[in-house]
């Protein structure tokens, strides 16, 4: 597996550990549920991408920690809701009981809702920079998380699964295979792209200089999803921290189900090459971004 910028991950972990949510005793249980999922570990790819982007454009990574943490709060909220019985109905996440298993569905829903709200609060309260740049960056994050991004992609995924579950397999596969990349660019790719774009905006990077970074980020989101689909088939329960094969059990359209395992691996290699090639037009210090790209391509979990 490729080397990972663990120094940036450790910065993220330390910052996340210091965040508190509850202001009064009656809501301490909600904070416990929020922190249970938030601090469950992982490689923190989205916030690490943000810090790596900052370093690449000459910003101190510490300066964008509030924005990076906001990205992780939103990502965590999406995982909590994805795991719910009404969605993917998963009982394990990163080797631990999922939020609704641990705390109940009602608390899990509230924990996800609260994490999203607190992400916006954290960004608005703690992120420094020119006010116009902070506002523009926050707008980019919110758009990436909403109907034009992650939630919209999740909606498409849910409705496609519903079509398949009702027996209309041919219609679902024929319709979705042709726009699989589009769906995943919303569901997964937009928040990954925002991890780069938000920092470019905070750094007031000239528009022409953002182009290679944004091309890189778009392709990285595709790479992440293809590899995720491959791992759902090839990874073990222990490696994934959750039962493997969940996509197949839920009738999900994936790169593997649409194209086959070998072709999916080819597509992953192509996206990996395109992501790295995009960085050739970026500023000189892209080592951390390259490491993240290589890690995503070769990861096992």
Span 201-245, pLDDT tens digits: 999 999 999 999 999 999 999 999 999 999 989 876 565 555 555
Element (H, E) at 92: strand 92-93
Tell me how many domains the chain contains: 1
Element (H, E) at 253: none
CA distance 212 to 282: 6
Q: What is the mean pLDDT of the chain?
A: 90
Q: Is the pLDDT of residue 188 over 80?
A: yes
Confidence of residue 301 (pLDDT cuts 50, 70, 90): low
Cβ atoms 119, 265 nearer than 8 A: no
Residue given tokens 């699989």 in the structure block: 180
In a domain, residue 1? The reply is no
pLDDT (mean) for 178-188: 84
CA angle 191, 180, 267 (to 5 degrees): 90
Domain of 255, in residue numbers: 6-298
Q: Is the pLDDT of residue 37 over 60?
A: yes
Cβ atoms 256, 190 nearer than 8 A: no
In a domain, residue 61? The reply is yes
CA distance 97 to 241: 10
Q: Is the pLDDT of residue 178 over 80?
A: no
Beta strands 92-93 and 96-97 are antiparallel
CA distance 123 to 134: 8
SS3 of 91, please? coil
Round to the nearest angstrom and report the end-to-end CA distance of the chain: 10
Question: φ, ψ for residue 97 (rounded to 5)?
Answer: -55, 140
Contacts of 59 (CB under 8 A, 6+ apart): 199, 202, 203
Give the range among 82-96, 114-128, 149-163, 274-288 with minimum mean pLDDT.
Answer: 149-163
**CATH code for the domain of 121:** 1.10.600.10
Q: How far is CA 63 from CA 52, 121, 199, 268, in A?
A: 12, 17, 10, 33
- Comparing CA positions, the residue from 56, 3, 61 lying closest to residue 279 is 56
Cα torsion 198, 147, 252, 93 to 10°: value is 50
Which pTM does this prediction carry? 0.91
Residue given tokens 């920079």 in the structure block: 129
Burial category of 257 from C-beta neighbours within 10 Å (exposed 0-12, middle 13-18, buried 19 and up): buried
- Comparing CA positions, the residue from 251, 199, 258 lying closest to residue 226 is 258
Give the number of other CB atoms < 10 A from CB of residue 274. 16
Q: Is the pLDDT of residue 10 over 90?
A: yes
pLDDT (mean) for 243-256: 68
Cβ atoms 242, 205 nearer than 8 A: no
pLDDT of residue 161: 58
259-281 confidence digits (pLDDT tens): 899 999 999 999 999 999 999 98
SS3 of 185, please? helix
Reported for 164-173, long-range contacts at CB under 8 A and 24+ positions apart, including other chains, are 164/251, 164/253, 165/251, 172/253, 173/253, 173/257, 173/258
Q: What tokens appear for 171 in the block?
A: 């219609």
- Comparing CA positions, the residue from 229, 235, 210, 213 lying closest to residue 268 is 229
63-112 confidence digits (pLDDT tens): 999 999 999 999 999 999 999 999 988 999 888 999 999 999 999 999 99
Higher-confidence residue of 252 and 77: namely: 77
Please name every residue paired with 92 in a beta bridge, in sequence order, or none if there are none.
Answer: 97
CA distance 265 to 283: 29
């Amino acid at each position: 597996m490729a080397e990972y910028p663990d120094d940036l991950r450790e910065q993220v972990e330390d910052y996340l550990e210091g965040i508190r949510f509850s202001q009064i005793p009656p809501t301490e249980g909600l904070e416990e549920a929020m922190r249970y999922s938030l601090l469950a570990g992982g490689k923190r790819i989205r916030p690490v991408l943000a810090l790596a982007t900052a370093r690449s454009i000459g910003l101190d990574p510490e300066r964008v920690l509030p924005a990076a943490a906001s990205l992780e709060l939103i990502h965590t909220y999406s995982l909590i809701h994805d795991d719910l019985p009404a969605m993917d109905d998963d009982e394990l996440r990163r080797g631990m009981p999922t939020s609704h298993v641990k705390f109940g569905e009602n608390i899990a829903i509230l924990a996800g809702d609260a994490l999203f709200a607190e992400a916006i609060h954290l960004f608005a309260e703690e992120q420094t920079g020119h006010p116009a740049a902070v506002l523009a960056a926050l707008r980019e994050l919110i758009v990436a998380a909403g109907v034009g991004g992650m939630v919209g992609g999740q909606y498409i995924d849910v409705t496609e699964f519903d079509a398949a579950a009702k027996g209309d397999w041919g219609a679902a596969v024929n319709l979705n295979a042709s726009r699989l990349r589009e769906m995943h660019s919303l569901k997964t790719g937009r928040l990954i792209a925002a991890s780069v774009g938000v920092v470019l905006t905070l750094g007031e990077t000239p528009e022409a200089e953002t182009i290679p970074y944004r091309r890189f980020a778009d392709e990285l989101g595709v790479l992440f999803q293809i590899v995720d689909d491959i791992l759902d088939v090839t990874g073990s329960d222990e490696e994934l921290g959750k039962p493997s094969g969940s996509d197949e059990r839920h009738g999900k359209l994936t790169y593997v189900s649409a194209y086959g395992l070998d072709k999916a691996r080819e597509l992953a290699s192509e996206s990996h090459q395109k992501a790295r090639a995009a960085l050739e037009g970026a500023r000189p210090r892209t080592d951390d971004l390259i490491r993240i790209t290589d890690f995503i391509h070769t990861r096992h979990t």
